[in-house]
Amino acid sequence: MRVTVRLFARLRDLAGTGELIREMPSATTAQEVWNDLVLEWPGLREYEKTISVAVNAEYARMTAGVRDGDEVAFMPPVSGGYRPAEAGPHDPRRGRL
């Protein structure tokens, strides 16, 4: 069966692409898709315990089943976007007034 794999951020950098088409056996899980990727790009392995996975744009567990035509996305943790030093003394994002 054919599965579209999407990779984001550092995972995309390691694989050299953000989207792949993989041929997988039927009755596959997201974990098996991940394992297939790690065989080709071993550097991905270090992210296995921290990645999020989505199947067809819905967050899922690695044990989620994957069917022909599905999209499986793997996303590493992200950080940033807000730095307390940038907030003024009365900024509600600081957690206090």
Query: Angle at the Cα of 43 (from 76 to 57), degrees rounded to 5?
Result: 30
Is residue 14 included in any domain, yes or no?
A: yes
Is residue 88 included in any domain, yes or no?
A: no
pLDDT tens digits, 1-37: 999 999 999 999 999 999 999 999 999 999 999 999 9
Is residue 87 included in any domain, yes or no?
A: no
Tell me the C-alpha distance between 43 and 11, whole Å. 9
Q: What percent of the chain has pLDDT over 70?
A: 80
Range of the domain at 23: 2-75
Tell me the C-alpha distance between 8 and 18, whole Å. 6
Mean pLDDT across the chain: 88
pLDDT score for 88? 57
Any idea what the CATH number is for the domain that residue 34 is in? 3.10.20.30
pLDDT score for 97? 42
Is residue 39 included in any domain, yes or no?
A: yes
